[in-house]
Structure 1
Amino acid sequence: MGPTTGRIQRNPLREAPADRVNTKVIQPAPPPEPENPPRPAGDLSRASLAKVADAAVTAWNDEALERRRLRRLSTVTILEHLARFPGTTWQQRWVAAGLDEYGTNPGDLGGEDKKLRKLFISGTRHLFCLRVIRPSLDAFRGHTYPNYALDFRLVAKDPLLDKFHAAVEASDATPAARRTALFDVACALTVFGISLADLTPEVLLHYSLESRRKQLTRGATKRGQEYNYAAIAAWHILYESGHFPPSAPHVLRAALVGGQKSVEELVDRQQLRNTNVRNLLVDYLRRRAADLDHSSLRQLARVLPGTFWSNVEKVNPDQADLRLSEETYQQWKETISVLPGGRPRLDMDGVLLKVRTFYLDLQSWAVAEPERWAA
């Protein structure tokens, strides 16, 4: 056990009950394109290879000549690769090179050469911090960049970001929660192309939901379902430090459960074609709502109208009822086995269980109330 500091180490991941926090409704929203995007070393989007490499060396202000040499070399290495692809900006070349997709790792450009792989990764990291490249969330999470938040802050020279780092350090969060908070904020600022001043509760909620939807939440696969939402610790510290307004929910969970939507709203998000099935799903979810908390109801509403029936309609637009042919069923299973970003779905068993329970419930209820459920 390490030395104590007199502070009680508390993990913000273990949040206060929702009825003890401000539950003002906010809606997740990506940030608008900033009028003056952050450019810590100036606008390098169309700069020459040499100018970007110079900026990388200057931004970190390394005293050691070997570090300066490696920083320049790694930046040149990735830029020389990008220069082979069409585009008038480095961002356009990055996309044209196929590096903005899920599953891409800049290190793979180096093949089996470990030194070359490291150069590609380091150079990419420099371009992210300098805001030369704005990666998608999928691309950024395609590789782990250790201590990225610290490098990002060093280059950004943003007083608000400095204040946030100080707030994280002064918080009573566990070391792991602090690291995660710093990472989530740096990640959000990087992929959205914004400064901390533009990181509103609406934007961070959008980041959290997108990370969960794409199964890219940091540490989620290690910690299990309880921690599937990103930015839990970051939200708490941003609120406590005064970055978020007092009217914002005190914790992320309150933002997630705030503004409970009706069953009709939950179903109609999917814009289903088949009115009869849509009405049946509304009736079914209303019946189940009596036994579920709102979070569980929302999850069920994502699966049945969304993962299940909206994809059935994509596979077979003329599907008239719940009697699926074996061909339609198998095509549906194949369709949902892969997430929109290309990742394999990890919760297939959970989806199938909810769908089977849906059918079994209807069969059971039809016996007791045939006039309502037998059709």
Structure 2
Amino acid sequence: MTNLLVAPVADAVTNLRGQEAAALLRAFPPRSSAPSWPATRLSWDAVLHRLQLPPFRATTDSAQSVRMGGARMMLSWLDTFPGGTWQQRWETSPAAGAYAGWSDALMAWRLSEGRKPRQDAAPSGMLALISADVIRPSLEWLSPNSSRLLRPAIAAARDPDGFARLSAQIPSGELATSPASEALKVIALIVAAQGGGVDDIVVGDLLTLLQIKASQSAQNGPVLRAYTWLRARGQFPPDAPATLQNLPARSGQVAPASLVDRFPLRCKPVRDLLVDYLTERQPALDYTSLLVLANHLVSLFWVDLERHHPGIDSLRLPREVSEAWKTRVAVKTVRRRQPDGTTAEISAPRASAAAVKMNVRAFYLDIAEWALDEPERWGPWAAPSPISEGDCGAKKMEREQKSRSDRRTRERLPVLPLLVRVADRRLKEAKARLDAIDAAPLGTMVTVLGETFTLPQTSRRADGRPGHVWDVHGSRRHLRAEEKQAFFAWATIEILRHTGIRAEELLELSHHSILRYTLPTTGEIVPLLQIAPSKTEKERLLLINPELADVLSTLVTRVRQVDGRIPAISTYDVHERTWNPPMPILYQWRVSGERRPVSGAFLRTVLNETLEASGLLGKDGEPLRFQPHDFRRIFITDAILNGLPPHIAQIIAGHESISTTMGYAAIYPSDAIEAHRAFIARRRQTRPTEEYRAITSEEWDEFLGHWERRKLALGECGRTYGTDCAHEHACVRCPVLIVGPSDGPRLEEIRDNLRERVAEAEREGWLGEIEGLSVSLAAAEEKIAQVFSRQERGESPVFLGLPSIDQLFAAASDTEEPPL
């Protein structure tokens, strides 16, 4: 192993967060900063004269006086720095580095000149020069600016017509709110930094500002709202992103090379091989599968080998290396909270260990197969697979998973009605609170459902209603958010329990999903719910029952606009890391001036809140938790238990195989017995009556009594039904006595007792007793030998008739001809 193959890499795993934003910036670059423009090339006197004219002049004489004084001070200070324009002098000054403390150097210079300036002179002069387009600070510099005067000054001085047109397109109720004012300030910042007007703003300008806000840990809501406004007016290209929501956190789809380079690989040839392999597999895989495959092969396989075997550069692994890796990959280190509140690292079985080994085995086998077609490319890497087919077996883990799933279903199925009632009660209570505060004047107190709330004196909402209230403890309550959470918790529970659809299918339900079907026989109209392709890429139709129809109609009414339409919005596919085409989805709401889809994380949160309110506890005494997939298992189990044929349940659930459907169904043994009895009853009804004879109660009692009488103190009697005991209940002697390992100690006691009785009979000369006791003793010893023989067979390996290597060599040596 040579160190020439080692490539310098980072020690930590590279995070893919922000990769989608970087890709969008490459596709939609921001405008480049102009090196020079007419206003920044003006002379000292021309700049001061410009500031005396509208729209750059302040509205009052006192403000204008402060503004001019500050502008003169700024120009005098900037004139001390090199540059042919005011912008160049600004960029070489220390103030251009950061907004925080930018005027400190200016004030120190002014004091060194023997002048003590006013504290408001510097910001006023700076605002005047920015408004007059004399200097253009960067977006990084302007972003932390909290001045309320910047936006109106830029709007009036730089592009009044553009701001007026934009304001006219915004609903009046929204325009008067504080969030809308912050969004207009975002547009003003871009105009101030990049020049031009509102119509000149491009996608890249907002993307750049969004990244700046993220780096400064600032709120990005105003940027999102501004982007929504400009995109709605058709200012951006058709292929521009539908929204910038969560953009800094998203990775998007990245190339296989980026997936591999996330991890600290040191062997560059193996790194290139992994990139080539993933690229070859990419067309046949969805993105999530490609991501999982890269994680298994790179992180859990090769990075682990390099960590424990530095300098490794070949896929041909020694046996001890592969065996050690199999041992390591079978467990993982997790952090668990201890009862005392501390956290500790413990080892736990890795649930995906079988999948990891299967992908590694496929990696080796694929390379070996491809080497036959392209030996120059794949041949040097062909090596025996360190993973055998037996290593990939996961039957035990699958059985354990099935057992855990069934246990979860059986624990949650009985309490589902209580959860439904709690969700319905919480929704009604939340709506009652919200209706009460909406009907009350601002600044008053409202009592509803035994709770007293104090309304604020003013509201920043477009409808004038309070956004929050205070309870009697002085805590702020957001009743609108509580009503929203209660509604979506209720709707989610109802839809999932009536349909059994997946969580991603729930979030993709749209207005187009509700269909009408006319039965050809009766002409009756039947409502159907169309489920879009999800995991199996197959559409399916579900019947809408009256309860589900009520939930869907309520959901449609909630998201429908005044004009009766449901807005078509784009949704983000978290599995494929791509945006879906705009659809009128039902799970949507309005946030920061734009329509957004409801997230899966929010649904899990509201489900947990409903469960906490229900007070339901599991068998371990801890609060019961429901995952959206639990409703799917409950739906399938309940449907099959109530007589729905499994193959029909398979179609409704959208499973490829009926074995998957039966794996979801947690069938109780008693349910299987009752279903079998019902099947026999239905079959008897369809068959001719003369085929069956009515069984009397005495016959049935005799039949049941036979099986009860088979149970003996020692084992069970194996005689057939309807026969009597042929050995007068001398069970130890009976050849049909069935004994097991648990009967071994009892048999040994009987044997020892028989030996003592035989010895006693011999001493006393009871010749007639000796013969009978000897027969019983021999039978007891035979039964004991059978028990031990059965145990040995169960614990010993079974010879299948395959000769060993030693036997083969021995046979070969026996048949070898002697030398001549």
Normalising by the smaller structure, the TM-score range is 0.5 to 0.7
For residue 60 of structure 1, the aligned residue among 49, 52, 56 is: 56
Name 2:83's counterpart in structure 1: 87
Aligned to 1:264: 256
- Aligned counterpart in structure 2 of residue 131 of structure 1, from 117, 123, 133: 133
Change (3 A) 1:259 1:60: same
Change (3 A) 1:257 1:247: farther
Q: Secondary structure at the match of 2:27?
A: coil
Q: Pick the aligned partner of 1:118 from 120, 141, 156.
A: 120
Query: 1:33, 1:141 → 2: CA distance?
Result: 16
8 Å CA contact retained: 2:94, 2:102: no
Deviations along 1:321-355, whole A, 9 cap, x unmatched? 668xxxxxxxxxxxxxxxxxxxxxxxxxxxxx9xx
Counterpart in 2 of 1:78? 74
Higher strand proportion: 2
Separation in structure 1 between the aligned mates of residue 46 and residue 25 of structure 2, nearest angstrom: 46
User: 8 Å contact 1:74–1:119 — kept in the other structure?
Assistant: yes
What does residue 177 of structure 2 align with? 175
Q: What is the DSSP-based 3-state SS (H/G/I as helix, E as strand, rest coil) of the residue aligned with 2:147?
A: coil
Contact 2:71–2:125 (CA<8 Å) still a contact in 1?
yes
Distance 1:51 1:277, change over 3 A: same
> Unpaired segments of 5 or more residues in structure 2?
1-23, 300-304, 309-334, 336-345, 362-385, 387-820
Post-superposition shift, 1:181?
1.0
Offset of residue 119 of structure 1: 0.8
Cα distance, 1:63 vs structure 2: 5.5
Over 3 Å counting, the alpha-carbon distance change for 1:271 and 1:154 in structure 2 is: farther
Superposed, 1:209-248 pairs within 5 Å as: 209-212=211-214, 214-215=215-216, 217=218, 220=219, 228=220, 231-244=223-236, 248=240
Higher relative contact order (CA 8 A, sep 6+): 1
Normalised TM-score (structure 1): 0.57
Structure 1 segment 247-258 matched on structure 2, within 5 A: 248-253=240-245
Distance 1:189 1:264 in 2: 39
The answer to whether the 8 A contact 1:110-1:116 is kept is no
- Equivalents in 2 of 1:157, 1:187: separation in Å? 12
Picking from 29, 47, 50, the partner of 2:45 is 50
The offset of 1:179, in angstroms, is: 1.6
Counterpart of 1:134 in structure 2: which amino acid? R
User: Which residue number corresponds to residue 31 of structure 1?
Assistant: 31
Q: Corresponding residue for 1:100?
A: 96
1:171 to partner: Cα distance: 6.0
Cα 1:159–1:261 change in 2 (3 A) is: same
Shift in Å at residue 150 of structure 1?
Answer: 0.9
- Structure 1: tracts of 5 or more residues without a match: 1-23, 221-227, 306-319, 324-352, 354-359
Task: Assess, with a 3 A threshold, how the Cα gap between structure 1 residues 152 and 103 changes in structure 2: closer, same or farther.
Answer: closer
Q: Is the 8 A contact 1:207 1:230 kept in 2?
A: no
Q: d(CA) in 1 for partners of 2:39 and 2:97?
A: 22
Post-superposition shift, 1:269? 8.7
**Would the aligned equivalents of 1:135 and 1:190 in 2 still touch at CA under 8 Å?**
yes
Distance change >3 Å, CA 87–CA 188, structure 1 → 2: same
Greater gyration radius: 2
Q: Is the 2:40–2:87 contact (alpha carbons within 8 Å) kept by the matching residues of 1?
A: yes
Structure 1: distance between partners of 2:122 and 2:237 = 40
1:169/1:178 contact within 8 Å kept? no
Shift of 1:47: 2.1
Which residue is 2:420 aligned to?
Answer: none
In 2, are the aligned partners of 1:277 and 1:321 still within 8 Å (CA)? no
Kept after mapping to 2: 8 A contact 1:91/1:132? yes
Counterpart amino acid of residue 181 in structure 1: A
- Which of 65, 68, 73 is equivalent to 1:69? 65
Query: Equivalent residue for 1:13?
Result: none
Cα distance between partner residues in 1 of 2:128 and 2:222? 24
1:148-163 alignment to 2 at 5 Å?
148-163=150-165
Shift of the 245–321 alpha-carbon distance from structure 1 to 2, 3 Å rule, reads same
* CA distance, structure 2, for counterparts of residue 110 and residue 29 of structure 1: 37
Change (3 A) 1:78 1:196: same
**Which residue matches 1:145?**
147
Contact kept in structure 2, 1:103 and 1:139, CA below 8 Å: yes
Q: Using the alignment, how far apart are the partners of 1:173 and 1:272 within structure 2?
A: 50
